[in-house]
Amino acid sequence: MMKEKNASSEDYFILLGFSNWPHLELVLFVVILMFYLITLIGNLFIIILSYLDSHLHTPMYFFLSNLSFLDLCYTTSSIPQLLVNLWGPEKNISYVGCMIQLYFVLALGTAECMLLVVMSYDRYAAVCRPLHYTVLMHPRFCHLLAVASWVGGFTTSALHSSFTSWVPLCGHCQVDHFFCEVPALLRLSCVDTRANELTLMVLSSIFVIIPLILILSSYGAIAHAVLRMQSTAGLQKVFGSCGAHLLVVSLFFIPVMCIYLQPPTRGSQDQGKFIALFYTVVTPSLNPLIYTLRNKDIKGAVKRLMGWEREM
């Protein structure tokens, strides 16, 4: 029988990842590496362009730069380890490395939930309160909202990571996932983890359901304001900026809800890996494309940076 034990800094875990499909590992390595490079290039492009072009020194692009930096950190917290595991036979991660990864994945994911709420409020203020927009979204207040998103994510993660690290583990050390996440680690425990699962459900509800309700409320008010608009140009501008944000929200929240708003079950584990792969690899790579595609502000900034606008 396996004995109950607490993990120590000398222990390690084996991230099983996609080892059940060895014939897919090379294909996954190539595809994930491509998406990771697209994520790095696309998000760095937004951050650098928003910094260099003074026309993009607005609340919308300030928050978008924060989102891009969050996506860079979020993917880097798990994807390099996944690529190493897919490339070679070794799939080990130290206990300390696993806990650090768990902490940053939770922190950055929670911070992104909160930042998406802030971005939806910015769009609400721009569309529904245009005359008061500069007062409502004062630069100091924007910085405060961004800091609150980051601090909220890292504080919440510290609490939840601590609860998870205190759970006694069985003798085996195989984590049936490609990164250290709470449901997979709870499956290693020999004790009753219902309290931890309840904590996960409560925190997930607070930082997933409530933000989603606030976002939908903001866009409900925006939709009401849009229906009263007479200007076609104004309608196109609203749909351009708000539509992109809504698409990003959908790509992030729907997979997260599928993973964290249901009790951990063994039968859905394989499906959960591919869902997690989508929101950790695909979504961060699509965000820059969604926000820059057909975005006149970004195109104008690129032209100014390259000097094309003066030549034309």
C-alpha dihedral over 33, 290, 208, 62, to 10 degrees? 100
- pLDDT at site 295: 78
Which residues of the chain fall short of a pLDDT of 70?
1-10, 171-172, 230-241, 260-269, 294, 308-312
| pLDDT at residue 102, rounded to an integer | 92
**Strand-pair category, 12-15 with 174-175:** parallel
Question: Coil, strand, or helix at residue 59?
Answer: helix
Looking at the domain assignment, is residue 242 inside a domain?
yes
Return the structure tokens found at 295: 């975005």
Q: Give me the pLDDT at residue 90, please.
A: 78
pLDDT at 40: 95
DSSP annotation of 279: I
Residue 7 lies in a domain: no
**Distance of alpha carbon 228 from alpha carbon 12, whole angstroms:** 60
pLDDT at 192: 75
SS3 for 6?
A: coil
Query: Count of residues for the chain?
Result: 312
User: Which pLDDT value is given to residue 311?
Assistant: 47
Q: How many domains does the chain have?
A: 1
Domain with 168, as residue range(s), is: 12-306
Task: Say what the pLDDT of residue 8 is.
Answer: 47
**Which residue carries 């650098």 as its tokens?**
48
Structure tokens at 274: 């591919």
pLDDT of residue 3: 45
pLDDT at 17: 84
Kindly report the backbone phi and psi dihedral angles of residue 40, in degrees, each rounded to the nearest multiple of 5, phi listed first.
-60, -50
- CATH of residue 25: 1.20.1070.10
Distance CA 215, CA 130 (A): 18
Burial call 28-43: b when 16+ CB within 10 Å, e when fewer: bbeebbebbebbbebb
Q: Which tokens go with 33?
A: 């590496």
Q: What is the pLDDT of residue 13?
A: 87
Rounded Cα–Cα distance for residues 239 and 241 (Å): 6
Phi-psi region of 177 (alpha: psi -120 to 50; beta: other; left: phi over 0): beta
Three-class HEC string of 130-147 = HHHHHHHCCHHHHHHHHH
Query: 311 lies in a domain?
Result: no
Q: Which amino acid is at 158?
A: A
pLDDT at site 201: 77
309 in Cβ contact with 303 (< 8 Å): yes
Strands (E), the chain: 12-15, 92-94, 174-175
Q: Nearest 5 degrees, angle CA 45-CA 284-CA 16?
A: 135
Q: Are 264 and 187 in contact (CB under 8 A)?
A: yes
pLDDT at 191: 78
Residue 156 lies in a domain: yes
The pLDDT value given to residue 175: 86
Identify any residues that bridge with 189 across adjacent strands, giving them in sequence order: 169
Q: What gap in Å lies between CA 25 and CA 29, rounded to an integer?
A: 6
CA 37 to chain centre: 17
